[in-house]
Amino acid sequence: MVCGRISRLSVRDVRFPTSLGSHGSDAMHTDPDYSAAYVVLETDAEDGLQGYGITFTLGKGTEVVVCAVNALAHHVLNRDLRDIVGDFRGFYRQLTSDGQLRWIGPEKGAVHLATAAILNAVWDLWAKQEGKPLWKLLVDMDPRMLLSCIDFRYITDVLTEEEAYEILQKGQVGKKEREGQMLTHGYPAYTTSCAWLGYSDDTLKQMMDANQRWDVPEAVEWMSSLAEFKPLWIEEPTSPDDILGHATISKALVPLGIGVATGEQCHNRVIFKQLLQAQALQFLQIDSCRLGSVNENLSVLLMAKKFEIPVCPHAGGVGLCELVQHLIIFDFISVSASLENRMCEYVDHLHEHFKYPVIIKNASYMPPQDAGYSTEMKAGSVKKHQYPDGEVWKKLLAAQGN
Amino acid sequence: MVCGRISRLSVRDVRFPTSLGSHGSDAMHTDPDYSAAYVVLETDAEDGLQGYGITFTLGKGTEVVVCAVNALAHHVLNRDLRDIVGDFRGFYRQLTSDGQLRWIGPEKGAVHLATAAILNAVWDLWAKQEGKPLWKLLVDMDPRMLLSCIDFRYITDVLTEEEAYEILQKGQVGKKEREGQMLTHGYPAYTTSCAWLGYSDDTLKQMMDANQRWDVPEAVEWMSSLAEFKPLWIEEPTSPDDILGHATISKALVPLGIGVATGEQCHNRVIFKQLLQAQALQFLQIDSCRLGSVNENLSVLLMAKKFEIPVCPHAGGVGLCELVQHLIIFDFISVSASLENRMCEYVDHLHEHFKYPVIIKNASYMPPQDAGYSTEMKAGSVKKHQYPDGEVWKKLLAAQGN
C-alpha cells in the first residue's frame, strides 16, 4: 500500500574520478569523471522506506543539476505519495511545466536531468512500498493505471492513449511465459568496455560508435567506406538534435546493411517521436537518466513498438545498468514481446557502489529480485565520493594543489 | 585595438518581480519574474573597459544558469581577448564542447543559456574596445573574419563556409545605402504588449501566439477554424522541439494564408537548420539570449537568407530588445537586404534598467550609437534587484514571510 507524505528531499553531488584512468572516455568526452546527482526522498510513513534516484553526469556540471533539483524540490515536498502516483501524469506535468523553470528547458538540459533524478526516486519509493522490483511493479500494473503515468502531450499525432492501450492489451498475451523466460534466462547484454561477454570477435567488430563526431555528409562518406566490415550499426553519427540528418544517414546506409543507432543524448519523447516518424534510426537507445524517468521512457517504448523499431538501451556510466534493466525487462514482457535484434548495453564498472548491483549470468541481465529501482547507493560510497568534500576528492584536490 | 587578459568574471542573479502585475504572462508561463543571469568581464587592460552579458530567464532557474556560468568560467579566465576573438570559432567550440559539461547539454538548456550570457559579454567587450556599437562592428568586419566566429559543425549539409561567404559578398552590394536607411528610418518594430506602435487594429488582429499549447492535430484544427480572421502567423503552435510537427502544421496552414512563426525556444542552430530544411516555418524568430550569442545567431541569419525565410526576432523580456536590435540591423545591412515581411518584436518594459536603452522612433528601432552590445545594466538596478539579497527582494520575501 502506497502511503506517506514526502517530508524531506536531499540531493548530493557524487563523483568517481574515472578520468584518472581514462575510463569511459570517447571521441567527444575525453576526460569524464562518472558522476551522479543523487536524490533521497524521505516520508513520514511508519515503514521508514526511502526513495533513491539518480541522474548520470560526467563530473563538472553535476553541481548545476544539483542546483536544478533544489529548484524543483518545492513541487515534491509535503506531497502525499498517494496523490503523486494517483495522478502521476499531472505530477510529471507539474515538474516539467513549472511556469518559471520551463524557460531553462523545456524538458531538456539540466532541468530535465534533475526531473529524471527526482522521478527516479519516486519510482524507487513506490516500488519499495509495493514490495516489488520496479520491472515487476510495471508488469503487474493495470494498463490504464500505467498509461496514467504518461504525459502524451506533443506525441498524440503518433501515439494516442487509446493506441497505447491496445498495445498493452496485446502485450498481455503470453506475458506469464515471457516473465518466466526472463527469470530463467535473463535479458541479453552486450558490452562496450574491453571485456566482452560471451560474444565472439566478429560480434565485437560489428559495433561502431561515432559519438556525434560527424556532420551529415561526413557520416555518410565514412560509413560507406567502412561498409565492407559489415557493422551492425553506427551509433550517434551526428548531433543528437538532428532528426533529418539521421534520416539522411539512415537512407544512405540501410541499403549497405548498416543501421543507425541513437538515443543516449536525445533529450525527450518529442525527439524520439520524430526519429521514428522520419525512419531515422534502426535501433533506439533509451536512457534511464536523461529522459523524464520511467514516465517518459514508457511513452518511448510504446512508440518504438508501434513503429516496430528494436530498443537497445544505453547503459554504463554510474547506475545506468542498474536502472535500465528494469525498463527493458518490462518492455520484453509487456510491450515488445521480442528479443530479435535486441540487447542491452552493459559496462562492468562502478557496480560495487550500489546496494543492489546488476547480476549478469551467461551474458544476460538477470531480473532484479529486490524491491525498488536498484537506485540505492552504499552510504559509504556516497560519503567518500561526495564532491568536493568526500575523502576521495579531498585527497585528489589537495594533490592537485586546489 | 583589442587587448587585455580576462582577469575576472562575475555573475549575478537579477530578478524583476513582474509576476506581481502578471506582466509577460502567457499560456504556458503564467507567473514570470523577468530575470537575467548577468555576467561582467573585467580585463587587465589599461582602458578599464568591461564586458556585460545577459541571458534572459523567468525567475526560478536563474540560479541554475548562474551555477552553469560559474562552471564555464575557467574557460574564460586568464584568456587573452586577442586570442579569443582571433579564433572565436575555437573558443565557441571550447565552451560548447567541454568534455564533462556537454553531457548536461549539449548546446541546450541551462548550460547553453550560460554560454550565451558569457559570449554576449565577450562581444560587448570587443565592440567597446573597437569603439563601435555591435551592429556596426559586424557590418564593418571582413567577411572571412566574421565567418571565423561561426561554428559550422552540424550545419554543413545546409550551409558551408564557402556558401556563407558568397552570401556575405553579395551583401556588400548596396550596404552603404542600407546603413544610411537604418540610421535615418530605423528597423520596423511591432509590439506584443498592450500598447501597439503605429499599427492599426487590423494589424493587431493579425498576430496569434499559441505558446506551445497544442499538439499537432489540435494546432491544425484550431487554426483552420480561425483562418477567417486572416492571422499573419501562428506563433509557437506546438513543442519547440517538434520540427516535423511544425512542418505538418505549415503544410496545412500555408494554403489558408497563415504562416508558422517560431524560434524563441529553439535551442540551437541544428533545430533552426531542420526547421528550414523541412519548410516548417514562414517566419524565423531568433533569440539573442537562447542561442549561443552572436556567433550562433550569425549562422542562423545566414541559413535563413539561403532559404529566403524572413527573420522576425523575439524580444521583450529583460534586455532582449536591447540586444537583438543589433543583430537584425546587421542582418538588414549585410545579409538579407530586405524589409519585406520583416519586423522586430518590441515590448515597452524594463528598459529603464539599462544604461543604453533602445530608442524607438516612428515605430522603429533606431540603430544604437554607443559602443558595445547595449547589455550594460545600471549598477543601482542590479544592486536593488539581486536575488535574494537586493532591497526589492528583501522586502518582498519578508512580506511573504519567507
Would you give the distance in Å from CA A309 to the centre of its chain? Answer: 17
Mutate which of B241, B279, B314 to test chain A, going by most A C-beta atoms within 10 A?
Answer: B241
Name the band, by pLDDT with cuts 50, 70 and 90, for residue B197: very low
Side-chain-side CA neighbours of B5 within 13 Å: the count stands at: 5
pLDDT at B401 over 80: no
The whole-number average pLDDT for the span A261-287 is: 98
Whether A28 and A2 have beta carbons less than 8 Å apart is answered as: no
Query: Which chain B residue lies closest to A31 (C-alpha atoms)?
Result: B99
**Interval B118-132 mean pLDDT:** 98
CB nearest to A60's CB, from B98, B215, B273: B98
> Nearest CA of chain B to the CA of A21: how many Å?
15
**Which helix or strand (DSSP H or E) is residue B123 part of?**
helix B109-130
Rounded Cα–Cα distance for residues B144 and B134 (Å): 17
pTM given for the model: 0.96
Report whether B348 contacts B23 (CB < 8 A).
no
Task: Tell me how far apart the alpha carbons of residues B54 and B376 are, in angstroms, rounded to a whole number.
Answer: 9
Share of chain A above pLDDT 70, in %: 96
Distance between CA atoms of B8 and B51, rounded to whole angstroms?
10
pLDDT, position B195: 41
Mean pLDDT, rounded, for B31-50? 97
> Out of A63, A71, A153, whose CB is closest to B215?
A153
**What residue of A is the nearest CA neighbor of B37?**
A104
Residue A207: pLDDT band (50, 70, 90) is confident
Using left for φ > 0, alpha for ψ between -120 and 50, and beta otherwise, residue A315 falls in beta
- CB-CB under 8 Å, A110 with B112: no
Mean pLDDT, residues A279-296 taken together:
98
Q: What is the model's pLDDT at position A201? A: 56
- Find where cell 545591412 sits: B333
Q: Which of B19-33, B131-145, B275-289, B378-392 has the lowest mean pLDDT?
A: B19-33
pLDDT given for residue B191 in this prediction? 84
Question: Which long-range contacts does A97-101 make (Cβ < 8 Å, 24+ apart)?
Answer: A97/B28, A98/A72, A98/B60, A99/B28, A99/B29, A99/B30, A99/B31, A99/B32, A99/B58, A100/B29, A100/B31, A100/B32, A100/B33, A100/B57, A100/B58, A100/B59, A100/B60, A100/B61, A101/A68, A101/A71, A101/A72, A101/B58, A101/B60, A101/B61
Question: What single-letter DSSP state applies at residue B331?
Answer: I
Grid coordinates in use for A63?
553541481
Q: DSSP per residue over B234-258, as a string?
A: EE--S-TT-HHHHHHHHHHHGGGT-
Whether the ω angle into residue B106 lies within 30 degrees of 0, i.e. cis, is yes
Average pLDDT over residues B70-96: 98
Beta-strand pair B35-43/B50-57: antiparallel
Instruction: Determine the residue type at B294.
Output: V
Chain A hits for B274, CB-CB cut-off 8 Å, are 241-245
The DSSP result for A78-129, as a single string, is T-BHHHHHHTHHHHHHHHHT-TTGGGG-SSSHHHHHHHHHHHHHHHHHHHHH
In this prediction the ipTM stands at 0.96
**pLDDT for A132 beyond 50:** yes
The average confidence (pLDDT) of chain B is 95
Percent pLDDT > 90 in chain A is: 90
User: Is residue A219's pLDDT more than 90?
Assistant: yes
DSSP codes of every residue in A338-374: --TT--EEE---SGGGBSS---EETTEEPPP-SSB-S
pLDDT (0 to 100) of residue A195: 41
To test the contact with chain A by mutation, choose from B62, B239, B271, B387 the residue with the greatest count of A C-beta atoms within 10 A, namely B239
The closest of B12, B7, B9, B89 to B388, measured between CA atoms, is B12
The strand pairing partners of B188, in sequence order, are: B364
Tell me phi and psi for residue B127, to 5 degrees: -65, -40
**pLDDT at residue number B203:** 56
A197 band by pLDDT with thresholds 50, 70 and 90: very low
Q: Which pLDDT does position A168 carry in this prediction? A: 98
Q: How confident is the model at residue A204 (pLDDT cuts 50, 70, 90)?
A: low
How many other CB atoms are there within 10 angstroms of residue A3's CB atom?
A: 14
**pLDDT tens, residue by residue, B1-15:** 799 999 999 999 999
A192: Cβ–Cβ under 8 A, 6 or more apart, which residues?
A207, A209, A316, A345, A347
**B337 exposure class (CB count in 10 Å sphere: 0-12, 13-18, 19+):** middle
Residues 6+ apart with CB under 8 A from A108: A267, A268, B108, B109, B241, B267
**Which residue in the set A33, A71, A157 is minimally distant from B61, CB to CB?**
A71
Cross-strand bridge partners of residue B54: B38
Q: How far apart are CA A349 and CA A16, in angstroms?
A: 11
Is A61–B101 a contact, with Cβ atoms under 8 angstroms apart?
A: yes
Q: Shortest Cα distance from A177 to chain B (angstroms)?
A: 38
> How far apart, in whole angstroms, are the C-alpha atoms of residue B173 and residue B156?
25
* Distance (Å, whole) CA B393 – CA B391: 6
Alpha-carbon gap, residue A149 to A13, rounded angstroms: 28
Query: Taking CB atoms and an 8 Å limit, are A278 and B244 in contact across chains?
Result: yes
CA distance B392 to A94: 28
With CA atoms as reference, report the closest residue to A43 among A109, A126, A115, A111. Answer: A126
- B301: number of Cβ within 10 Å: 25
Give the minimum alpha-carbon distance from A178 to chain B in angstroms, rounded to a whole number: 35
- Predicted confidence (pLDDT) at residue A37 exceeds the cutoff of 90: yes
For the stretch A13-31, pLDDT in tens is 999 999 887 677 777 777 8
User: In whole angstroms, what is the distance from residue A182 CA to residue A366 CA?
Assistant: 7
Q: What is the pLDDT of residue A22?
A: 67
From B26's Cα to the closest Cα of chain A, the distance in A is 9
Range of lowest pLDDT (A31-40, A302-311, B190-199, B303-312) = B190-199
Q: Return the SS3 of B158.
A: coil
- As a whole-number percent, the residues of chain B with pLDDT over 70 amount to 96
Separation CA A94–CA A83 (nearest Å) = 13
Q: Roughly how many angstroms between the first and final C-alpha of chain A, as a whole number?
A: 50
Note the pLDDT tens digit of each residue in A71-121. 999 999 999 999 999 999 999 999 999 999 999 999 999 999 999 999 999
Q: What is the pLDDT of residue B300?
A: 98
Residue B200 pLDDT: 56
Chain A: closest CA distance from residue B375 (Å)? 20
Which of A192-196, A332-336, B374-378 shows the lowest mean pLDDT across its residues?
A: A192-196
Q: How many CB pairs under 8 A join A and B?
A: 195
